[in-house]
Structure 1
Amino acid sequence: MRQPSPSSNAIDASSAARTPRMRGLSPRQRIVMTFTFFSMFFGAGNLIFPPFVGAQAGAAAVPATVGFIVSAVGLPILGVLAVSFAGGFDNLARRVSPGFATVLAVAIILTIGPCFAIPRTATTSFEMMVAPFAGADGRWAAQLIYSVAFFALSFLFAQRPEKLSHVLGRFMGPLLLALIAVIFAACLVHGVGTPAVPGGDYASGQLTRGFLDGYQTMDLLAALYFGIVISANIRANGVGDEPQVRRETAYAGLGTGALLVLIYGALSYVGVVSGAIVAIDPAHDTGATVLTNLTSSVFGTAGTAFLGAVFVIACLNVCTGLICTCASYFHERFRTVAGHGVSYRAWQVVFTLFSLVVSNAGLSAIIRVSVPVLSALYPMAIVLVALALTHRWFAARFGRVYFWTVLLVGVTALMGCVSDLVVVFGGSLPWLAAALDLLPLQSYSLGWVVPAVVGMLVGVVDSARRHGRG
């Protein structure tokens, strides 16, 4: 698949003549590109979940945070590298089959886009910035007005995907980091006191629980397609050689990973401090509650407004990046619908308006439905990334491992998704739940691991058999 966004097509021969070709970005440009990538990743979930992990894990925050960082940072950055090596995620997914590549791509784009992630940015920032000051009677009207303003601003920022680094990389990203640094510094001054006893989902198995909660950031799925926008920004800075564009994308991904590790570690510590100040109820409280407790205690009444500003900036950054990514992909893949050409701007309008409607359904509803869907998509994405990283010395020699591994993992993950979605909507499928419970590691929500191993073995045998026939 070609990686540039549709707006990168505007970087035509005349603009190329105005911008001299470069072998690579300068150190300053790489820093800006890293901040751009970071800003696209770091949104509502990235702010909420690390403090919640720290507050629940308490004295066991270190292993919990390590598990969270592995899945919330390690997997996305490996995803960026894998996609860069493969020349695009579609090229990687086509190693399973062309049809699978299209279906999985659309499912991922809709998940990180208008169905879940984009609406969540507006809803979460509203909950933190406006809801505390809005009366219960006028809440629905306040949310509608806020979401219209929020998406209008994101739509405006997303007009030129290849210029996104001018907004996110040079201004919004550094501002967000500065605000998070203020919160962390306040925690260092306050001190942690006596950490809380691990509770909730983190009463035991903190490492595994942290790993699974890292799914909620959706960053692995986003990483598979954020390269579309980052690549366009790199080209706009004068890099015309495609292998160098992929290398610069990988550099930006590695820099983003380093920033995320530092920020997640800091926010987990913030959660430990907050949990020591005010105990939380894991069944009802969220990471937003953890942060609110802390800022209210440290900063007083101004703390709520300060925290709301942090959330608005983070969510606006991610919303803008996601709108660019989704509209760019659909424009490239579906240039015509029902015989009519569809522009980047048209897709941008569709995704923005759809997200506006979904965002007013409420944060809890979005999260409840998204969890099973993520549990289905993440295992397939993980095995594809793993196979891509071993392609040269393993998967390329046994090409059928892609088909069989993804098939068995996909069937298992989709069965789990169906079972969980039925429960979300008030039903139950006890026979399906019982069948899934027979899988090793299913109690840790890792029932797909053994099917993945079996799929690789079957793929090796199938590849050897076909090679023998040839």
Structure 2
Amino acid sequence: MKQTLKISDIIAVGFMLFAFFLGAGNIIFPPLAGQLAGENLIPAMTGFLLTAVGLPLITIVAIAVAGGSWDHLTKDLPKRAAMTIAVLIFIIIGPAFAAPRTGLVAYEMAIKPFFADAAQLHLTIFSILFFVVAMSFAWSQGKLIDVIGKVLTPVLFIGLIILAAAVFIDPQGEMIAAQGEYLTHPLQKGFLEGYNTMDTFASLMFGGLIVDALRKKGVQDQSATAKYLISAALVAAAGLAFVYVSLFYLGATSAAVAVGADNGGAILSMYVQSLFGPYGQIVLSVIVLLACLTTAIGIISACSDYFSSITPIAYKAWVVIIGVACATVANVGLSQLISLSVPVLFALYPVAIALVALTFIRKKLPNPKVAYRVVILVSLMFALIDAAKVAGVDVSALSMLPLFEVGMGWLMPTVAAMVCMLFIGKSEQVELAEETA
């Protein structure tokens, strides 16, 4: 069995991971941040890149260090706890929220503008076709690198390069003064906005999927798998950074052509039409459709892969189940699901970050099993406070917590718990219990 890949295969794996990450949300979010940052573009963009690119990259590296799978990453947690966290992440990022959103946003930005009188029937027909196509690509796991990394992503990347080149060669306006929090602390604001992309969850999903793809290419050795996984993550991170930098600059120079726009999608649409004239919508439609489609394929495949591993239902059956669920949710109740999903994301995201951080210090922990349980529990308890605040519950009595106001009240207690666990060793009773278990 071969343990080496050609450079073209490594780049294809990286492109596949990049395409899985780059959904419509990643494309339409930076322009608004760039517009609000204005002349403070550099510090705001730096903060954003730290969390929107840095955290997902670190998470992929953690998966590689841990052994290439969710089970390896959570081996020091009780199995039920690890499975519960995983199921919640896969449901929220999968059929309950992110995957259906890809179909909805693809319709809103790429298809709806071509209809003078768009109706619900158009969305229904499009969402069915969109997810049928996504399911057909996800159907054959072993060919994901070839169809995504070598076909769809290069086309997507060419579209993004054309857009980026046009933005830097012919900016449509001057940068204006920064607004709101971008005026007073742009680095911190950019950092927090990047955190909201939630791509650390995506890393936990896609890391295992990339490992499976590598194995189907003949790479079985753990060290070789880790090396190629990290290489793919670096390619994906470089691609994401390129997209974010160009879209931030687009937003920062958009004030003149996007007057009154209150969201990134509107800014992007107005800017592209200003750049390319009547053909602008076609360029934007191609980019958004491919970005949404590749992300939907990645999510459906990753969810199907995980759920088939914990149930007797086969991978291809899960592809159909999740695809149908996504097409259904894309048509009904998405706004309600978003409002329900946000508190759950606030509760689980710190847990994911804590899990990644523990992976890198595991060898220094005297008692990994106790450390993982304590740190994850602390992160979850304090994250639930942030989640309650987002859900509208009055938790002002806990406002003395550091970073409480910015929704990161979990951070300092989690760090403190982690530091404490570096000095708590195994007791003789624990060692004896493990020996007799």
Shorter-chain TM-score tier: over 0.9
Q: 1:9: which partner in 2?
A: none
Equivalent position of 1:251 in the other structure: 231
What does residue 17 of structure 1 align with? none
C-alpha change, 1:215 and 1:453, in structure 2 (3 Å) is closer
Amino acid corresponding to residue 404 of structure 1 in structure 2: V
Please report how far the alpha carbon of residue 134 of structure 1 lies from its aligned counterpart in structure 2 after TM superposition: 2.8
Give the TM-score normalised by the residue count of structure 1. 0.86
For 1:360 and 1:209, how far apart are their aligned partners in 2?
33
> TM-score normalised to the size of structure 2?
0.92
1:194-273 matches, within 5 Å, as 194-200=174-180, 202-273=182-253
1:61 to 38, 41, 44: 41
Matches within 5 A, 1:383-398: 383-392=354-363, 394-395=364-365
Q: Distance in 2 between matches of 1:150 and 1:258?
A: 28
Q: For residue 24 of structure 1, what is the amino acid of its counterpart?
A: T
Per mean C-alpha deviation after superposition, the further-off stretch among 161-170 and 434-443 is 434-443
Please name the residue that 2:408 is paired with: 446
For the Cα contact (< 8 Å) 1:55–1:280, is it kept in 2? no
Task: Using the TM superposition, give the Cα deviation of residue 398 of structure 1 relative to its aligned residue in structure 2, in angstroms.
Answer: 5.4
Indicate how the Cα distance of structure 1 residues 356 and 121 shifts in structure 2: closer, same or farther if over 3 A, else same.
same
Q: Give 3-state SS (helix, strand or coil) of 1:167's partner.
A: helix
Q: Which residue of 2 aligns with 1:179?
A: 159
Change in 2 beyond 3 A, CA 1:143/1:201: farther
Distance 1:163 1:185 in 2: 32
Determine if contact 1:75/1:220 at 8 Å carries over to the other structure.
Answer: yes
Q: How much does 1:363 deviate?
A: 6.1
Matching residue of 1:92: 73
In the alignment, which residue of structure 1 is the partner of 2:303? 326
Letter of the structure 2 residue corresponding to residue 114 of structure 1: P
Alignment match, 1:16: none
Which residue of structure 1 lines up, in the alignment, with residue 266 of structure 2? Answer: 289
Q: Check conservation: 1:405, 1:456, Cα contact below 8 A.
A: yes
1:468–1:111 CA distance, 2 compared to 1 (3 A): same
8 Å Cα contact 1:215-1:378 kept in structure 2: no
In the TM superposition, what is the alpha-carbon distance from 1:133 to its structure 2 partner? 2.7
Query: What is the aligned counterpart of 1:315 among 283, 289, 292?
Result: 292
Report the counterpart of residue 464 of structure 1 in structure 2. Answer: 425
**Larger CA deviation: 53-62 vs 213-222:** 213-222
How big is each residue's C-alpha offset from its partner over 1:39-98, in whole Å with a ceiling of 9 and x where there is no partner? 111111111112221111111111111111111111111101111111222222232322
Task: Determine the structure 1 residue equivalent to 2:390.
Answer: 420
1:197-245 alpha-carbon deviations (Å, 9 max, x no partner): 2225534322222222223433111111212221222122222323322
Secondary structure in 2 matching 1:277 = coil
Residue in structure 1 matched with residue 435 of structure 2 by the alignment? none
Q: Distance in 1 between matches of 2:256 and 2:360?
A: 41
Q: Which amino acid in 2 is paired with 1:157? A: F
8 Å CA contact 1:384–1:406 kept in 2: the answer is yes
- Match status 1:299 vs 2:273: no
* In structure 2, C-alpha distance between the alignment counterparts of 1:100 and 1:200, rounded to whole Å: 41
Query: What residue is the counterpart of 1:437 in the other structure?
Result: 399
Which residue number corresponds to residue 84 of structure 2?
A: 103
Can you give the 5+ residue segments of structure 2 that lack an aligned partner in the other structure?
Answer: 432-437
SS at structure 2 position matched to 1:278: coil
Q: Judge conservation of contact 1:403–1:459 (CA < 8 Å) in 2.
A: no
- Which runs of no fewer than 5 residues in structure 1 stay unpaired? 1-20, 336-341, 424-428
Change (3 A) 1:170 1:273: same
Q: In structure 1, how many angstroms separate the alpha carbons of the residues matched to 2:125 and 2:183? A: 41
Cα deviation 1:374-427 (Å, max 9, x = unaligned): 2222111111111111222x2356553222111111011123223423x3xxxx
- Per-residue CA deviation, residues 93-125 of structure 1 (Å, 9 max, x unaligned), is 232322210111001111211011101100111
Q: Following the alignment from structure 2 to structure 1, what is the Cα–Cα distance between the partners of residues 421 and 52?
A: 29
| Distance of 2:422 and 2:361 partners within structure 1 | 14
Aligned equivalents of 1:191 and 1:92: distance in 2?
Answer: 45
> What is the rounded CA distance, in whole Å, between the counterparts of 1:133 and 1:116 in structure 2?
26
Q: 1:12 maps to what in 2?
A: none
Query: Match for residue 124 of structure 1?
Result: 105
Aligned-residue offset at 1:371: 2.9
| Distance apart, 1:135 and its partner CA | 4.2
Aligned partner of 1:171: which letter?
V
Does the 8 Å CA contact 2:173/2:255 hold for their aligned counterparts?
A: no
Aligned equivalents of 2:201 and 2:234: distance in 1? 17
1:115 corresponds to: 96
Number of residue equivalences: 430
- The alignment-based identity, stated in percent, is 34
Q: Structure 1's 382 and 315: CA in aligned 2 closer, same or farther, altered over 3 A?
A: same
Answering whether residue 140 of structure 2 is matched by residue 153 of structure 1, we say no
Q: 1:55 to 1:435 in 2, by over 3 A?
A: same
From the superposition, tell whether residues 366 and 217 of structure 1 become closer, same or farther in structure 2 (CA, over 3 Å).
Answer: farther
| Counterpart residue type for residue 409 of structure 2 | G
Assess, with a 3 A threshold, how the Cα gap between structure 1 residues 308 and 33 changes in structure 2: closer, same or farther.
same
Q: Deviations over 1:415-462 (max 9, x none)?
A: 3223423x3xxxxx32xx21342211111221111211232244345x
Number of the residue aligned with 2:316: 345
